[in-house]
Amino acid sequence: MDLNKKVIEEVSGWLKLFNDGSVDRTWTGPPEVEFLMKPVPTHEEYIDGIATRDVTIDPNTGLAVRIYIPDREKEIQDKDKLPVILHFHGGGFCISRANWYMYYQFYSRLAHSAGAICISPYLRLAPEHRLPAACDDAYSAYLWLNSVARGEQSEPWIESYADFGRIFLVGDSTGANIMHQVAARAGGAGSESIKLAGGVALHGGFNRAEPSKSLLELPESPMLTRDMVNKLNALGLPVGSTRDHPITCPMGPAAPPLAGLKLPPMMVVVAEEDLLRDTQLEYCKAMKEAGKEVKVVFEHGMGHCYYLNKLAIDLDPKTAAQVDYLIDLLKTLHLPERCISSITRKLPTERSNYKENANRKR
């Protein structure tokens, strides 16, 4: 035991940072929810209609992705190729992994229900690897997918079954911030091999230096507390940066003007009881004012990333029903707009009073 080793920062339940720079991410919160943070082994045989594998996409850095593929009843022809979800996990840039059960239980279900391939990179974590490391990893996963489409790299599942004309970027919490960065970089670079058909921000980790009304006043939830927001942002951002940094606040003055970005159509899902609700709506407002195509879905009575909390899903019928609606919504992303509208009628979009909250200068 090193008697000189001391904790210099702690995010309760999640993370301890020591004075030698090492980090302990052993879960120390309620034991009944520890299963959510447990890694799920890969299985190339189909379980509940899904098979998974991990693939190292960059042997030099060790960057790997987890791939989910749904069961097929027949050989897939070109016209039957599957859309691809490129998923970026959240965790405040500091915690969580692509193979955690909380993601497996939701994204395996989404991949099966939507008939889609899901690819989720193992993003580097701060504070060992501060931003923009996670964004660089996410963009590397996009470039790898592009290289597979061009035949420069090989991954049999992707080559055989992926429709490279239907790529959707999806991010949970701070993964939505990463999604925005990848979409902007991909749009600027362009590609003839793959097409970004859309982006989805699920309860995005959008934030700014001046706290919003929702961050100050809304009740905390099992998936997000004020302590987590403040400390994880501080540990994740480049040293000396504030939450007005372009990655945490892409709608702020320090970020590249949204009007100049080439972005795919976006869907932004906002939970009414999310501490970050108001800044998510600010992002939506700024995107619309910049002329971007944005669909806002407002989830009444729900908290931050509730759909990842399998314990709540199993115990609370309201949460389970809302997850059903969210799955129905997401699995229509590659369908015509009329099909999406039939689903979104079940999930009311932003209400005027929340627009006013987003517009109000605080």
DSSP string, 11-61: ETTTEEEETTS-EE----S-GGGGGGGSBPPP-SS-BTTEEEEEEEEETTT
Considering 136, 163, 172, 274, which one is annotated as catalytic? 274
Q: Give yes or no for residue 323 having a pLDDT over 70.
A: yes
> pLDDT tens digits, residue range 55-84?
999 999 999 999 999 997 655 566 689 999
Confidence of residue 332 (pLDDT cuts 50, 70, 90): confident
pLDDT digits 0-9 by tens, 141-177: 999 999 999 999 999 999 999 999 999 999 999 999 9
Question: For 239-276, what is each residue's pLDDT tens digit?
Answer: 999 999 999 999 999 999 999 999 999 999 999 999 99
Structure tokens belonging to residue 38: 């447990």
At a CB cut-off of 8 Å and minimum separation 6, what does 291 contact? 259
Q: Mean pLDDT, the chain, as a whole number?
A: 91
Q: Does the model's pTM come out above 0.85?
A: yes
What is the mean predicted confidence (pLDDT) over 86-111? 98
For 5, the 3-state DSSP assignment is: coil
What's the angle, vertex CA 171, arms to CA 165 and CA 175, rounded to 5?
135
Give residue 192's pLDDT: 85
Residues near 140 by Cβ (< 8 Å), separated by ≥ 6? 57, 58, 61, 63, 121
Burial profile 321-337: b = 16 or more Cβ within 10 angstroms, e = fewer:
ebbebbbbbbbbbbeee
User: Among the options 173, 212, 221, 241, which is catalytic?
Assistant: 173
Give the pair of three-digit tokens for residue 8. Answer: 């210099």
pLDDT at 350 over 60: no
Cβ atoms of 330 and 114 closer than 8 Å: yes
- Catalytic site includes residue 140: no
Given the residues 87, 89, 180, 304, the one annotated as active site = 304
Distance of CA 70 to the CA centre of its chain: 20
For range 284-303, the mean pLDDT: 98
> Active-site residue 108, yes or no?
no
DSSP 211: P
Is 50 exceeded by the pLDDT of residue 339?
A: no
Asked if 212 is an active-site residue, the reply is no
| pLDDT tens, position by position, 167-209 | 999 999 999 999 999 999 999 998 889 999 999 999 999 999 9
User: Does residue 347 carry a pLDDT above 80?
Assistant: no
Handedness of CA 169, 54, 109, 305 (dihedral sign): negative
pLDDT of the residue at 77: 60
